[in-house]
Amino acid sequence: MRARILICALVSTLTLAGTATAAQAASYVALGDSYASGVGTRDYDESSGGCKRGPDAYPVEVAPRIGASLKFVACGGAKTEDVTGNQLGSLNAGTTDVSISIGGNDAGFSGVVFQCGKPWPTTCWGDIDDAKAFIEDDLPGELDSVYSAIESRAPNAQVAVVGYPYIFSGEECGGAARISEGEQEELNEAGDMLTWVTANRAHAHGFAFVNPTDPFEGHAVCDDSEWINGVSNPTGESFHPNDDGHDAHADLVTAALD
C-alpha cells in the first residue's frame, strides 16, 4: 500500500510538472498593422523603429493573461504582403496563440480618411468608393493568402483575427477636421464591408473573429469618452486606438484566445 501511495504521488507530481511546463511553453505571436502595434498610444519601444510597437499595445497586455511568451512583430503601416514577407518567420509548430489585425492598409483606409479631412472643396467620395471596390473584389484573396500561410506555419495555434472598430460617430467636432456626417457614414459603411469580409475569411479558415464594433460604441472620435484619437499631433497618431482602446482590445483578444 505504501509503495502504491508513493507511485501515485510521483505520477501526480510528474503530471503537475508536465502541466506547468506546457503552460510555460505557450507562445503567442502578435501579427499585423498599426492597430496591433500600438500606434495611437504615443509610447513606443525605440528598438521597434518605424513599426512603433509600444508597451501599451494590446498584445503586451494579452500575453501574461494567457500565460504565454510574446513575439511581437506587428508593424505600423503593414499590408498583407508585409505580413507574409516579414512577419510570418516568427511562427512555428510550437506557436500556441496568434492574433492578427490586417487589411485596412490594403484598402487604403488611412489615405482615404486623410483625404476626407482636407479642406473644402476637396471631397473623398471617390476614394471611399475605390476602397469599397477593393474590399469586395481583391481583399478576400489577399486575406486567404495570409491566413493559409499562418495555418501552414503554425498548425497547432489558435488564431484570433481582430477587426477594426468604427472610427466615427457621425458627429462633427474640432478634432475630426471637417469630415462631414455624410462622409463619416460612408466611411463607417466601408468599415462594415471590411468587417464582413474579414470575418467571413477568418471563419472559412477556422479562426476566431474579434469584432470590436459593439464594444467601441459610444467611444468613437468626437464621443465624450474617446477610445480612438481624433486629429492629432503628430498626424500619424490620428484615428488610431488610444490606451483605453487598447485596453478594450486586450479584453476581447484575451477572451478569444484564453
Catalytic residue annotation:
34, 240
| Cα 66 to Cα 63: distance, rounded to the nearest angstrom | 6
Secondary element (H or E) of residue 174: none
For residue 126, give the 3-state DSSP assignment.
Answer: helix
Which residue's entry shows cell 506546457?
Answer: 22
| Cα 142 to Cα 75: distance, rounded to the nearest angstrom | 18
| Cα 73 to Cα 146: distance, rounded to the nearest angstrom | 15
Cβ partners under 8 Å of residue 1, min gap 6: none
For residue 39, give the 3-state DSSP assignment.
Answer: coil
Which residue's entry shows cell 478594450?
Answer: 248
